[in-house]
Structure 1
Amino acid sequence: MIRVISDKRLVLGFFLAHLVIFLTFEQQKVFWYFFTAAMLLLISYSILDESGERNSSKSHLLFGIITGVILYAVFWLGDTLIGVLNLPLEIQITRLYKLFSPETVWHYIVLLLVIGPGEEIFWRGFIQRKLHRYTSARTSIIISTLLYASVQIYSGEWVLFIAALTGGLVWGALYAWKKSIRLVVISHIVFDLLMFGLLPLR
């Protein structure tokens, strides 16, 4: 763990992510402008690092689509159970959709082409890959998922933290297994498309 903390680029990247995501949630009226800028900054920070893996195959497209659909199904099932059990998380989900759902064409464009891919490039392709240099694959998945979820606290809604834990574990495991950032990017895009475009929960 000492070696992890001594990696200045890794630590600085994590604190940079906290800063820009904090500013993003603080500026709700211009949320989409800040979120887009934040992810472009984190993508730029990530690619300044040495080149990551470039493994890819034709099967990654199909596998990415399938895992994105399965992850959406898990969220849909969770939302259904929350409704049936009348848990207070239902109010949080509704509030999050109201505050942060895409509303215009350009929102959807940046969600699918910048924000979703950017989160994977930074949290899996940079943070998790860096952590894996110093820890086991399992540990790197767990720590990177916790770090990914930690920036969601600025939304003020615990359900977003839980959602990030769930998605982070799935995408982290996929990345550790297949060693392909393209795969997790495709999975994330499909998930976002279903969650916010084709079949939103609210």
Structure 2
Amino acid sequence: MSIRKLLGTIVLAHVLLFLSFFLFKDLFWPLFTASLLVLGIFSIRNARWKTPSPLHIFYGLGSGILLYLIFYIGKLVMLYLFPESITQLEELYRLVAPEQGWHYVSLILVIIPGEELFWRGVVQDQVEKSNLRYPIILAALLYMSAHIYAGAFLLLVAAVLAGIVWGYLYKRTSNMTVPILSHLVFDLLLLVFFPLL
């Protein structure tokens, strides 16, 4: 894939997330699901897969839990320093927290795999092949940039930090299953089992 095609796919991701997070917020779940389905299908043939070892499963589970704990502590610090940021956090949860049964199915089967397939399996791989410096960080910054339309600083911080972790896991293990598992654990803790609100 050329740099031009890569930039084209990143622009497509931006357009889809702009529609989902900003322009049609009332239709967030259907649009976001459709967006990640499109990006995931486009990306699935590029990802590296293999049967995960017990160590890979440990990496996936452990990193997802660790990321959640970091963000939990970060939230406490943020609210202590900037108590007004609770409003932004509440607005973000109103938008992205799953409520209906199909939201949970979409999150687990479409959104999380679609994000990892696209941002790690296509974008990060292509950045690495382009011999650009710091490909994991650059791919994480690109991942973060597509979340700007949510208007939540905390989401941008989460996207870049988690993107670096998931990018490292993908690079280290050469196995898409590991970042997907980590992302799944992180999102389930953050959005379902122990929300930060």
TM-score by length of 2: 0.92
Q: Which one of 121, 140, 152 corresponds to residue 157 of structure 1? A: 152
Partner of 1:124: 120
Are the structure 2 counterparts of residues 87 and 173 from structure 1 closer, same or farther at C-alpha, using a change threshold of 3 Å? farther
Partner Cα separation in structure 2 for residue 164 and residue 125 of structure 1: 16
Question: In the alignment, what sits opposite 1:31?
Answer: 28
Aligned-residue sequence identity (percent) comes to: 38
Report the Cα distance in structure 2 between the residues aligned to 1:52 and 1:115, rounded to whole angstroms.
16
Q: Deviations over 1:50-96 (max 9, x none)?
A: 54322343222222111100000111010111122234433211210
- Who is 2:102 aligned against? 106
Structure 2 Cα separation of the partners of residues 51 and 175 of structure 1: 13
Q: What amino acid is aligned across from residue 169 of structure 1 in structure 2?
A: I
Which secondary structure does the structure 2 equivalent of 1:65 belong to? helix
Kept in 2: contact 1:79–1:90 (CA 8 A) = no
CA RMSD, Structure 1 to Structure 2 (Å): 1.7
Q: How does 1:1-202 map to 2 (within 5 A)?
A: 6-25=2-21, 26-47=23-44, 51-59=46-54, 60-135=56-131, 139-202=134-197
- Distance of 1:57 and 1:19 partners within structure 2: 34
Unaligned runs of 5+ in 1: none
CA distance in 2 between counterparts of 1:98 and 1:123 reads 25
Would you say the 8 A contact 1:127–1:144 is kept in 2? yes
Residues 52 and 96 of structure 1, relative CA distance in 2, 3 Å threshold: closer
Partner Cα separation in structure 1 for residue 102 and residue 48 of structure 2:
30
Q: Does the 8 Å contact 1:69/1:191 carry over to 2?
A: yes
**How many Å separate the matches in 2 of 1:11 and 1:166?**
22
> Following TM superposition, by how much is the alpha carbon of 1:167 offset from its aligned partner in structure 2, in angstroms?
0.8
Residue segments in structure 2 that go unaligned for 5+ positions in a row? none
Tell me the CA shift for residue 44 of structure 1.
1.8
Q: What is the number of equivalent residue pairs in this alignment?
A: 195
1:67–1:187 Cα contact (<8 Å) kept: yes
Instruction: Write the deviation string for residues 169-188 of structure 1: whole angstroms up to 9, x where unpaired.
Output: 11111112111111000000
Q: 1:62 to 1:12 in 2, by over 3 A?
A: same
- Deviation readout 1:18-38 (Å, 9 max, x if unpaired): 111111112111110000000
Cα shift at 1:113: 1.3
TM-score, structure 1 as length reference = 0.90
Q: Counterpart of 1:18 in 2: which secondary structure?
A: helix
